[in-house]
């Protein structure tokens, strides 16, 4: 039987587990601080715990959910980490330094079931969901690998998988990330990106104030269904209705991610359709020129087309930022994560 990983527990869950072991509930807060603040690697480092309890933890639980296999550093400073899971599956996590920020791009699934035509991960299919521990441990492991003065400042669920398709584990991880006794991130520093699973998106709006990003990539149903099969179930009409009703704090906006593909969705008419589609939504748009991968049927747009697209969206009053994907030379850019192992 596999031992429980303590990073699987939110604080209330760990309090309940402590009680089940006959320990006081406050022990859970102690363990959280040891795991997430002190970042202990062995229980014998914890002198405030009794020897009997430390032995019980050592033989009755696990501290880590992941094992680093390899890492690759891009010319732009981006680092891609390949992690092994307990069952031999693999995931990739990407660290993007952009002083004063250090952003960690988290995976939420092994593979992905969404099948987006421009994404390598989607071509792999879904192997399984990640556990809360496997999501949380990405941040813990990478932070340990960084220089002492470099801290992860932002978390984005934009790695492998569709986070809203693994809702409970992702929300468990967010609870650990934001707990003052845990990793103590502000909700303002966490962004979840979704292709638009409407029921879960509505639930997220009710249950968490983290930032929302929506992977749009096309402004009309026919083209979006061609690129993103999810649109056949959750149409643009349903998705935009959910976005219009999404509860936002006064100065918050929904980010819409739009990968520009040459001759396919980068024309002036697409920009005008996008503006009309977003009417009534507090939005900003990230325009991302495609990073083609081997076998990708689409190609990168011309720079002139990208700039003209941006101009048309900005003239309509929206913030539109051109995002150059980081880490393309190590296959760490948007849509390129595949968790291949070179060894």
Q: In this structure, what token pair is assigned to residue 280?
A: 């009534």
CB 125 within 8 A of CB 113: yes
Residue written as token pair 């962004």: 191
Residue 332 pLDDT: 63
Residue 343 pLDDT: 45
Locate the domains of the chain by residue range. Answer: 6-60, 67-330
Residue 331 pLDDT: 77
CB 60 within 8 A of CB 212: no
CB 193 within 8 A of CB 157: yes
Residue written as token pair 């010319």: 75
CATH superfamily of 67-330: Aldolase class I (3.20.20.70)
Residue 327 pLDDT: 80
Residue 259 pLDDT: 96
Active site positions, annotated: 92, 334
3 state SS for 147-168: CCCCCCCEEEECCCCCHHHHHH
What would be the CATH architecture of the domain defined by 6-60? Orthogonal Bundle (1.10)
Q: Which residue ranges in the chain fall short of pLDDT 50?
A: 342-343
Phi, psi dihedrals of residue 223, rounded to the nearest 5°: -70, -40
Alpha-carbon torsion angle 148, 152, 158, 161, nearest 10: 60
Residue 21 pLDDT: 93
């Amino acid at each position: 039987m596999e031992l429980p990983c303590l990073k699987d527990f939110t604080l209330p869950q760990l309090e309940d587990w402590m009680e089940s072991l006959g320990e006081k509930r406050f022990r859970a807060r102690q363990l959280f601080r040891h795991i997430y603040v002190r970042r202990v690697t062995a229980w014998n480092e914890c002198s405030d715990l009794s020897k009997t309890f430390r032995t019980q933890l050592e033989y009755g639980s696990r501290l880590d959910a992941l094992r680093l296999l390899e890492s690759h550093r891009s010319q732009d400073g981006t680092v891609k980490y390949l992690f092994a899971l307990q069952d031999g599956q693999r995931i990739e996590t990407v660290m993007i330094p952009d002083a004063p920020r250090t952003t960690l791009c988290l995976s939420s699934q092994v593979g992905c079931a969404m099948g987006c035509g421009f994404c390598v991960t989607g071509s792999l299919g879904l192997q399984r969901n990640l556990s809360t521990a496997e999501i949380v441990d990405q941040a813990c492991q990478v932070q340990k690998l960084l220089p002492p003065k470099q801290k992860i400042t932002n978390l984005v669920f934009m790695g492998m998988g569709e986070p809203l398709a693994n809702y409970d584990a992702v929300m468990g991880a967010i609870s650990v990330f934001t707990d003052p006794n845990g990793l103590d991130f502000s909700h303002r520093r966490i962004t979840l990106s979704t292709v638009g699973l409407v029921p879960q998106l509505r639930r997220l709006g009710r249950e968490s104030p983290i930032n929302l990003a929506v992977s749009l990539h096309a402004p009309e149903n026919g083209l979006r269904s061609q690129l993103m099969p999810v649109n056949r179930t959750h149409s643009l009409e349903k998705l935009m209705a959910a976005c219009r009703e999404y509860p936002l704090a006064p100065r918050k906006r929904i980010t819409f991610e739009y990968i520009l593909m040459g001759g396919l969705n980068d024309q002036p008419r697409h920009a005008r359709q996008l503006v009309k589609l977003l009417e009534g939504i507090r939005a900003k748009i990230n325009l991302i020129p495609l990073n083609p991968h081997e076998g990708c049927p689409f190609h990168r747009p011309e720079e002139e087309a990208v700039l003209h697209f941006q101009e048309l969206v900005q003239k309509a009053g929206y913030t539109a930022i051109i995002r150059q994907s980081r880490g393309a030379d190590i296959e760490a850019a948007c849509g390129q994560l595949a968790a291949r192992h070179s060894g």
